[in-house]
Amino acid sequence: MCLFQYDDDPEPEERIPAGPLYVPVRPGGPEVVVRLFRTPLGALTSVGFTSPDRLVATLGTEQPWIRLSESALRSLAEPLGIFLLTTDPTLTAPAAAMAPPVAARIA
């Protein structure tokens, strides 16, 4: 067992580091803010995609993104107490439906 952990070392269950990722962001004026997500169990996670096509398939064409290495994304999230990184997640929730107008619900 190795006693040292390096920034680009894979997690034990990963075979290789994720490498450069396409990371979803929120515009915040002259800077951008990395978007954080929740797992199905409610834990906060940072998210990265291995290709822009996978990001678009999950979050849509309007989602802005930046390229970051896996270690840079982890370094941004760790001060916030977020140690989980999810790579290439897929959206599992059903599409949201429009609620009927308030007047239709009352009648």
Q: What is the mean pLDDT of the chain?
A: 81
Which of 22-31, 42-51, 84-93 is the most confident on average?
Answer: 42-51
> What is the pLDDT averaged over residues 63-79?
94
Report residue 22 CA to chain centroid gap. 9
Domain boundaries along the sequence of the chain: 21-90
Instruction: Calculate Rg over the CA atoms of the chain.
Output: 18
> What is the pLDDT averaged over residues 56-84?
94
Counting residues of the chain whose pLDDT is more than 90, the rounded percentage is 56
CA distances to 26, 27, 33, 70, 89 from 30, rounded to whole Å, are 11, 8, 10, 23, 28
> What is the pLDDT averaged over residues 68-74?
94
Please give the Cα distance from 25 to 65 (Å, whole number). 5
